[in-house]
A and B are shown apart, each in its own frame.
Chain A
Amino acid sequence: MSLTLPQCYLADLPPEAQVTPALIRDAWLSVLRNREHYLVRRATSSILRDLESAAALWRAQDSPYRRLALDLGPAQTGFSAPILEEGLSQLFGSLTVAQLEAWVEQDLGHPSRLDAFCATGPERASHRRSKAVGPSALAHITAGNIPPAGVLNVVSGLLVRSAQFVKCAAGGSWVPRLFAHSLREINPHLGACLEIAEWPRERTDLTEALIADAECVTASGSDEAISALRSAVPVTKRFVAYGHRVSFAYIAADAMGPGQIETLAARAARDVCAWNQQGCLSPHVIYVQETGAEDFARHLAAALDAAEQTHPRGPLPDADAATIRSRRSFYEVRAAASRETRLWHSNPSTAWTVVYEANPQFQASCLNRFVYVKGVDALETALQGADRLRRHVSTVGLAASPAHASELAARLADWGVTRICPLGQMQDPPPLWRHDGRPALTDLVRWTDWEEEAPSHTHP
């Protein structure tokens, strides 16, 4: 089954077509009008059903969207087809009515919070009912390093019934755009409340036009990009920022039982391969407690080698491959001079690299399957090694015995980590995860509290 995408969104225009500030203003007018007609009074349950149906279009093996994403995706996104397939299956598998409803309930306290005034226990006790209202015009400025982020942006905006404009990084609109088309197939009205475009960061005139008509702006990207946007968004508009985050894994000694090392290495390899480490949730460093770190690194190298056969990383631009090559060569010199450093890598390609170092200092990876393994005596040593990143760590992939895990989780929470998950699932957060420790829907809405008259205050 083949599919030709109709020209519905700015991102569908041929490359020679120029996005202009006037086009952006027109697009806002049109999505805002469509929101008034088709979205603002729609029931949450109906939106959830449509979202699940759109996700289902992607789950079927013969789905034209899936095929298109996998056939043309490698050229569009730089990810190999198996990597796209794995990541997209994970993403669309999680977009179900049950999950989405749970998300609304979790972030807003009640599944009908967006439909009507409703009350939870404490609200009832104080004779209040509350309704959450999303922004009329919601702009997303996405970093575009991995596809799920843009899709989840669209989902969150639909849940709060906003007219949306998703601005993707240059070259980053492919999957969000296909998702918008799938949504349009399920319900053209929903798809018409959405605009998708891409332009490079340097085009500040376009970004200014985008912000001018938005009521709320979300942004993800480097701290530098966020800071520039923060100053471009007037204080009268809400600005929700997701800055740069890094992640690491921690394997406690009690997780490394007999025969466990290979399983753990395979799980760690899965985290390194998912979206080729491009996401903020991918591990840069894997800390291994006790003496098995070097042995673990060797097993991880074997697991990455095996993963390259089934889920190849795909080709890299010269500059990225050069970065890997130069950094590898640096560690090769260090490894030749000292027993405290060891290096394993694919040959003769840059497909994967494992650097073992005894030094517990956190080391940011150059990504694309370049990972550090570091030996530590205890979690505390790892946290000291990562101390300078303290407010920048998103996820810790944890492997520890159940008894030990809760103690480690408490310490990690105290230290500032915002997500702890089993090793092997670092890049698979559920949609309702609290992105960077913040409830995503809560950050978008404003509340209306309705204080009803208490029975005792009846007028004479």
Chain B
Amino acid sequence: MHANLSALARDLGAFFTETLQARRAPRGSRREEGPEPNLGSDSRPGRAALRQGQGHRGHESPTETQNAPVHPSRSPAPGGSFLTPAPAEESRFNHLAQQLFALQFALNPPYRALCLARGVTPHRVSDWQEIPAVPASAFKEFAFTCLPESERTIRFESSGTTQSVRSQGHHSRESLRLYEASLLPWFQHHLLPETLQADNADPGHWDFISLTPPLAQAPRSSLVHMLDAIQRQPWFSQAGFVGRTGPDGTWSLDLGALEAAIQQAHTRSQAVTLAGTAFNWVHLLENPDVDRLRLPQASRLMETGGYKGRSRELSRDQLHKELSARLGVARENIVTEYGMCELSSQAYDQVAGGRCPQRVLRFPPWARVTVVSPETGLEVANGESGLVRVLDLANAFSVMAVETEDLAIRHPDGIELLGRNRQTEPRGCSLLSA
């Protein structure tokens, strides 16, 4: 691997840790959205600045609050907040993005060709927003990777029907290290906020169950890689995968195994973290024996991905409502994750147990999401919809800027997904049914 890229990857890993710590560090009276459950979430930029320097905890002046200036989302408060970067962080982010762009431009031939076609070269870029984004669909045809072929030891593929061409993401041991450095803390922050609290740091109060097949049966799934990395963490005393891959590649659920795992958790008074795709969850709900399952108190669910025609489709709201009713899990303990094989970082729509007034997807501080108008390519205003574009520093060994095919509404502190996985790439003649 290119020595400069390896060195930069180490810097990025350090940046992930430091920036998360810095954002979590109390500034003023309290954190804006702490990892603790039931903390009120206040996402308005500018609040932190007001609170900074207040000497007493838990009390804020209504007058000051009312006079709080409303900043646009990218005008951070002087000190930053959990949801908005401080100027120092923003400047470091920008610096790292530019360094990374120079290396990806040099090491990634199809990306370089695209940048040159757009007339963008590293010395012309002064802001991360100028870094050209690659369409996610192009991952189906081109290897957007900085890894030399000999180091591409792991390949992620997008899920999809057997006929469709799949997106590919290449990884090495080194790139997976950075991938995990991104995914683990952000998962922990949203699904297991209790484990972050100093007085509750005793690991192993949790069991982990994935409804997907295990890694050995789904070696190309980036989601299963992610869940595999998660289940190895000390937060869990037991972990298992209760999905199976059939001979035709489809995923099914072993309800007996799931029931046994839940029973074990009950016996040992453990709470459970369950993860699965939306269609995994629908398969579970369609099982006539699902009502036998009762999850231990405080258990939580992670739901991700689309349906891809593998089950009947429910709206997210309906799915969460049914999951809550049938499995006995409070709605605030059902967390939606948004990720894709072309990216290394994921977004979550709330901290488990939190009381977010509005559930919007948020990426970690080392990624930036932009919503662009499909008509003009320019960023839309808050409340408007467009295509999701993500700049993900954890994608150091691939391309960091990816424009997805997903439509979302821009909110001041995140995005609200409208639709996923539209098959816009040419599909040969299967488009007949379009």
On chain B, the residues within 8 Å of A332 by CB distance are 114, 117, 135
Per the bound structure, the CA–CA distance linking A205 and B247 in Å amounts to 39
Across the interface, do A244 and B432 meet the contact criterion of CB distance under 8 Å? yes
Across the interface, do A244 and B377 meet the contact criterion of CB distance under 8 Å? no
Across the interface, do A333 and B135 meet the contact criterion of CB distance under 8 Å? yes
On chain B, the residues within 8 Å of A366 by CB distance are 424, 434
Across the interface, do B429 and A364 meet the contact criterion of CB distance under 8 Å? yes
On chain B, the residues within 8 Å of A322 by CB distance are 374, 386-387, 405, 407, 422, 424
- Select the stretch in B136-144, B223-231, B235-243, B255-263 that faces chain A: B136-144
Per the bound structure, the CA–CA distance linking A389 and B405 in Å amounts to 27
Per the bound structure, the CA–CA distance linking A333 and B116 in Å amounts to 11
Contact of B376 among A223, A348, A364 (CB under 8 A): A348
- Select the stretch in A119-127, A180-188, A334-342, A417-425 that faces chain B: A334-342
On chain B, the residues within 8 Å of A361 by CB distance are 428
Chain B, residues 372-394, CB within 8 Å of chain A (1/0): the string is: 01111110000001110000000
Which applies to chain A's interface (DSSP): helix, strand, loop or mixed? helix
Across the interface, do B110 and A364 meet the contact criterion of CB distance under 8 Å? no
- Nearest-Cβ distance from residue A277 to partner chain B, whole angstroms: 12
- Select the stretch in A253-261, A323-331, A376-384 that faces chain B: A323-331
Per the bound structure, the CA–CA distance linking A335 and B118 in Å amounts to 11
Per the bound structure, the CA–CA distance linking A364 and B429 in Å amounts to 7
Across the interface, do A327 and B426 meet the contact criterion of CB distance under 8 Å? yes
Given known A-B contacts A321-B374, A334-B141, A350-B374, A326 and B135 have beta carbons under 8 A apart = yes
User: Is B14's CB within 8 Å of the partner chain A?
Assistant: no
User: Interface extent on A, as a size class?
Assistant: 35 or more
Across the interface, do A336 and B116 meet the contact criterion of CB distance under 8 Å? yes
Q: Which of A315, A319, A361, A362 has the most CB of B within 10 A?
A: A319
Across the interface, do A348 and B426 meet the contact criterion of CB distance under 8 Å? no
Contact of B424 among A323, A336, A337, A363 (CB under 8 A): A323
User: Is A224's CB within 8 Å of the partner chain B?
Assistant: yes
- Nearest-Cβ distance from residue A196 to partner chain B, whole angstroms: 27
Q: Which of A223, A224, A332 has the most CB of B within 10 A?
A: A332
Q: Which of A224, A334, A337 has the most CB of B within 10 A?
A: A337
- Nearest-Cβ distance from residue A322 to partner chain B, whole angstroms: 4
User: Is A318's CB within 8 Å of the partner chain B?
Assistant: yes
Across the interface, do A350 and B117 meet the contact criterion of CB distance under 8 Å? no
User: Is B413's CB within 8 Å of the partner chain A?
Assistant: no
Across the interface, do A223 and B433 meet the contact criterion of CB distance under 8 Å? yes
Q: Which residue of B lies closest to A331 (CB)?
A: B426
Chain B, residues 348-384, CB within 8 Å of chain A (1/0): the string is: 0000000000000000000000000111111000000
User: Is A446's CB within 8 Å of the partner chain B?
Assistant: no
- Nearest-Cβ distance from residue A324 to partner chain B, whole angstroms: 7
User: Is A349's CB within 8 Å of the partner chain B?
Assistant: yes
Contact of A319 among B422, B432, B433 (CB under 8 A): B422
Per the bound structure, the CA–CA distance linking A337 and B117 in Å amounts to 9
User: Is A246's CB within 8 Å of the partner chain B?
Assistant: yes
Across the interface, do A363 and B426 meet the contact criterion of CB distance under 8 Å? yes
Across the interface, do B432 and A389 meet the contact criterion of CB distance under 8 Å? yes
On chain B, the residues within 8 Å of A325 by CB distance are 374-375, 377, 387
Across the interface, do A326 and B405 meet the contact criterion of CB distance under 8 Å? yes
Q: Which residue of B lies closest to A351 (CB)?
A: B375
Per the bound structure, the CA–CA distance linking A135 and B116 in Å amounts to 64
Given known A-B contacts A325-B387, A348-B377, A366-B424, A244 and B433 have beta carbons under 8 A apart = yes
User: Interface extent on B, as a size class?
Assistant: 35 or more
- Nearest-Cβ distance from residue A281 to partner chain B, whole angstroms: 16
User: Is A434's CB within 8 Å of the partner chain B?
Assistant: no
- Nearest-Cβ distance from residue B320 to partner chain A, whole angstroms: 23
- Nearest-Cβ distance from residue B225 to partner chain A, whole angstroms: 25
Across the interface, do B386 and A336 meet the contact criterion of CB distance under 8 Å? no
Across the interface, do A326 and B137 meet the contact criterion of CB distance under 8 Å? yes
User: Is B419's CB within 8 Å of the partner chain A?
Assistant: yes
Per the bound structure, the CA–CA distance linking A350 and B136 in Å amounts to 19
Given known A-B contacts A330-B138, A333-B114, A333-B134, A389 and B429 have beta carbons under 8 A apart = yes
On chain A, the residues within 8 Å of B428 by CB distance are 361, 363, 388
Across the interface, do B422 and A321 meet the contact criterion of CB distance under 8 Å? no
- Nearest-Cβ distance from residue A137 to partner chain B, whole angstroms: 31
On chain A, the residues within 8 Å of B136 by CB distance are 326
Across the interface, do B434 and A329 meet the contact criterion of CB distance under 8 Å? no
Per the bound structure, the CA–CA distance linking A246 and B429 in Å amounts to 11
Given known A-B contacts A224-B433, A325-B377, A330 and B113 have beta carbons under 8 A apart = no
Chain B, residues 408-434, CB within 8 Å of chain A (1/0): the string is: 000000000011001011101101111
User: Is A392's CB within 8 Å of the partner chain B?
Assistant: yes
User: Is B194's CB within 8 Å of the partner chain A?
Assistant: no
Across the interface, do B422 and A333 meet the contact criterion of CB distance under 8 Å? no
Chain B, residues 91-122, CB within 8 Å of chain A (1/0): the string is: 00000000000000000001001101100000
User: Is B403's CB within 8 Å of the partner chain A?
Assistant: yes
Q: Which of B141, B374, B378 has the most CB of A within 10 A?
A: B374
On chain B, the residues within 8 Å of A333 by CB distance are 110, 113-114, 134-135, 138, 141-142
On chain A, the residues within 8 Å of B431 by CB distance are 363-364
Per the bound structure, the CA–CA distance linking A329 and B374 in Å amounts to 11
On chain B, the residues within 8 Å of A337 by CB distance are 110, 113-114, 142
Per the bound structure, the CA–CA distance linking A392 and B432 in Å amounts to 8
The 5 A-B residue pairs whose C-beta atoms are closest, nearest first, are: A364-B431, A329-B135, A321-B374, A336-B117, A322-B374
Give me the interface of A with B, judged by CB distance under 8 Å.
222-224, 244, 246, 315-316, 318-319, 321-327, 329-330, 332-337, 348-350, 361-364, 366, 388-389, 392
5 A-B contact pairs sorted by A residue (CB < 8 Å): A319-B407, A322-B387, A322-B405, A330-B135, A350-B375
Question: Other than the known A322-B405, A349-B375, what 20 A-B pairs have Cβ atoms closer than 8 Å?
Answer: A222-B433, A223-B433, A224-B433, A315-B375, A318-B385, A319-B422, A321-B374, A322-B386, A322-B424, A323-B422, A324-B374, A326-B135, A330-B426, A333-B135, A337-B114, A350-B374, A362-B429, A363-B426, A388-B429, A389-B429
